[in-house]
Amino acid sequence: MENNKRSKLQSSFELLLTLSFGLAILLPVVVIAFIQISNANTSLSSAESQQSASTIASLASIVGSEGPPAKIVTQINIPPGVQNIYVGNTTNGIGNLITFVIVSAAGPSYITEYTPVSVSGYLGEITSPGTYLVNISAVAICPSNPNRNCVYITAVT
């Protein structure tokens, strides 16, 4: 009887030991998989932000070259992770940049697109993921600096 108990105990211990080794090997694989998924999501957000910034910049260039009162409404996609969108410069004054700020585990990253025309505006309210309409207008009197003309960019609400 005691041999039977010892045999069962040894079998249980071997099973527990085998499962422990399996979990010890599996745990780093799971952690690495989660890290890779996080990196892939950040890369996808960066690519989608780059595409949206490029669309806005190219349309701003076209509208700016036509001059006032030219305007266009376009549709852009905002991916998850976008914290802010700056038009012109980081204070939304007149400048030549469209900048998407993306938050990731590594910290904020900046996706920037240059426009040859002066741009200004505000897109800070559209940071939730989704599809939005954006108004791009050439104006003779820029709202952020009345002494200059610019391409003014705002969200359609």
High-pLDDT (> 70) share of the chain, %? 92
Give pLDDT, residue 51.
94
3-state secondary structure of 66: helix
In a domain, 127, yes or no: yes
In a domain, 7, yes or no: no
Residue 136, pLDDT > 90, answer yes
Residue 1, pLDDT > 60, answer no
User: Which residue range is the domain that position 66 belongs to?
Assistant: 33-155
In a domain, 19, yes or no: no
Which pLDDT band holds residue 145 (cuts at 50, 70, 90)? confident
Give pLDDT, residue 14.
83
Residue type for 43, please?
S
Compute the 3-state secondary structure of the chain and give helix, strand, coil in percent, each to the nearest 5. Answer: 40, 40, 20
Q: Find the mean pLDDT for residues 64-69.
A: 90
Q: What is the pLDDT of residues 73-128, one digit of tens each?
A: 999 999 998 999 999 888 878 999 999 999 887 788 899 999 999 999 989 888 78
Helix (H) or strand (E) holding 85: strand 82-88
How does strand 150-155 pair with strand 107-122? parallel
Query: CA separation (Å) from 102 to 79, 109, 117, 127?
Result: 9, 5, 24, 10
Task: Report the C-alpha gap between 33 and 52 in whole angstroms.
Answer: 29
In a domain, 13, yes or no: no
In a domain, 27, yes or no: no
In a domain, 45, yes or no: yes
Count of domains observed in the chain: 1
